[in-house]
Amino acid sequence: MAWSKLKQQLESFLSPSLNGRVEYRATSYRYLPDKPGICYLAVDKKNVLNMSDTAGPIRWYQTEQEIKNDPNIQVPVTPDEIEAVRKDTKGTVPEDRLQVIARNRKITELAKELLSAQAALSKSNFTVAATAYLATSIEESLESRDILLNILALMDRRVGKKRMLNMAETIKLKHPAVQYFYELRRSML
């Protein structure tokens, strides 16, 4: 879907209290195909959530190393995960190393999830999330683990005052960007 059409559809669902305050913006570089586009949400003409990251793999690796080197983070490994490593290695790895390999795999997954939760996204990720948002129900978008779906649903006109007030406790468990847009919308009620 073209960006202009997607933007038009997203703006049609925007809460009337946020019209003129929240904008969806995107830039792309027509003559530089190797340069990624930038997409962001602006509130009162200020970029609030920037979705461009050319150094994604580097940041992911740094996050993984931080998790591995932090002694306070305990990553439990289940027997099923150890068994999966045993099957992958065809039984050639000693038992004590199986747990280390399983733990490292789990840390890698956690690092990827953490980076995704930190909103290190690209324009293509925003386009995918926005298209998914337009195709799913509000309830699914609000309960999703994807922060973009949460943000788009919070700004939706179909989410009323009563539902916003009932969500106060669950929003505390969400990403700070989701909390920001929740407070923005709540302040407009």
Taking only the tens place, the pLDDT of each residue in 62-71 is 767 777 777 7
pLDDT digits (tens, 9 = 90+) for 127-172: 888 899 999 999 999 998 888 899 999 999 999 999 999 998 888 8
Half-sphere exposure of 50 (CA within 13 A, CB side): 9
pLDDT digits (tens, 9 = 90+) for 13-62: 999 999 989 998 877 666 655 556 677 788 998 888 777 655 555 565 67
- Flag whether the pTM goes above 0.75: no
Q: Among residues 117, 142, 165, which one ends one of the domains?
A: 117
Cβ atoms 115, 56 nearer than 8 A:
yes
| Residue 113 and residue 130 in one domain | no
Q: How far apart are CA 169 and CA 164, in angstroms?
A: 10
Q: How does 2-36 read in b/e, with b if 16+ C-beta sit within 10 Å?
A: ebeebbeebeebbbeebeeebbbebeeeeeeeeeb
* Domain span including residue 179: 3-52+121-187
| Residue 61 and residue 113 in one domain | yes
